[in-house]
Copies of this chain bind each other. A is one copy, B any other.
Amino acid sequence: MIEPAADAPATAPADAAHGADAGINATTKAPTASRPRKTRSDKQRNRAHILEVAEEFFTEQGAASSLDAIAKRAGIGPGTLYRHFPTREALLAALLEARDEELTARRDAIVAEETDSARALERWLDALDTWASAFNGLPDPLRDALTTETSPLAMTCQGYVTTTDQFLAAAQRDGRAQPWVRGRELFLSVLATAWVRGAALADEASAQSLRAILRSGWALPD
């Protein structure tokens, strides 16, 4: 049996909090401490549009695309882009958040369908590989996030490391994975293979082979 699940990597609702908290300070008419305004509509519109355009750019030209160019194609000034997403990592995190749902779904599907714990871990690593290969050059910021602590990507990565740990623990319990391996390293190894793929634009063969090497590296026979 397998049992990772229970705590997903937490898809934060981005911006909640407006409405439902009026009337608290209605006693005084002080101009300060008034009820917070509704978020301006153009802000949300811009945010959404930036994300669309960034997805395009990153897909076509990799995760290191020029942010100014993204702003220009989105028809906004650079200041607006940076106000919404102070760093490249923040922008990437927002884009990956959209993929979070899919990855979580794959995780749940694996848990539900797979009875072989080693096979389950393998499928999960496959899913992670696809995720980390969303954009060319994505492995680099992901790797950095894993050691930076204070990155918008850090939380996301940490969640997936935890999930990896759970799949791995199950496989280890069944004697199907090397006992000395840790989830963090498997996660890093997935990033590393995705990084290798990023080189060639078409060294798929090498990436495949590397995955196989890693597979036979963490696995135990039977």
Q: Give the interface of A toward B (CB within 8 A).
A: 143-144, 146-147, 178, 180-182, 184-186, 188-189, 191-193, 195-196, 198-201, 203, 206, 209-210, 212-218
- B192 and A180 within 8 A (CB): no
B195–A209 CB distance below 8 A:
no
- Please judge, given known A-B contacts A147-B203, A213-B217, whether A188 and B181 are in contact too, CB under 8 Å: no
CB distance from A79 to the nearest CB of B (A): 26
Hey, which chain B residues are within 8 Å of A144, CB to CB?
199
Whole-angstrom CA separation of A192 from B203 in the bound complex: 14
The docked-state distance in angstroms from the alpha carbon of A182 to that of B180 is 26
Besides A182-B209, A192-B193, A195-B195, 20 other A-B contacts (C-beta < 8 A): A143-B195, A144-B199, A146-B199, A146-B200, A147-B203, A178-B213, A178-B216, A180-B209, A181-B209, A184-B206, A185-B213, A189-B210, A192-B195, A192-B210, A213-B217, A214-B214, A214-B217, A215-B217, A217-B217, A217-B218
A198 → chain B, closest Cβ, in Å? 8
Which residue on B lies nearest to A215, using beta carbons?
B217
B200 x A147 contact (CB < 8 A): yes
Number of copies: 2
A189 to B197, CA, bound (A): 11
> For A218, what are the chain B residues with a Cβ–Cβ distance below 8 Å?
213, 216-217
Q: Would you give the shortest CB distance from A104 to chain B, in whole angstroms?
A: 25
Chain B residue with minimal CB distance to A200?
Answer: B147
A196 — which chain B residues lie within 8 A by C-beta? 143, 188-189, 191-192
With the chains together, A218 CA to B209 CA distance in Å? 10
Can you show 29 pairs from A to B with CB atoms below 8 A apart?
A143-B195, A143-B196, A143-B199, A144-B199, A147-B200, A147-B201, A178-B216, A180-B209, A180-B212, A182-B209, A184-B206, A185-B206, A185-B209, A186-B213, A188-B196, A188-B206, A189-B192, A189-B196, A189-B210, A191-B196, A192-B192, A192-B193, A192-B196, A212-B217, A213-B218, A214-B217, A216-B217, A216-B218, A217-B217
CB of A204 to closest CB in B, whole Å: 12
Bound CA span A195–B198, Å? 13
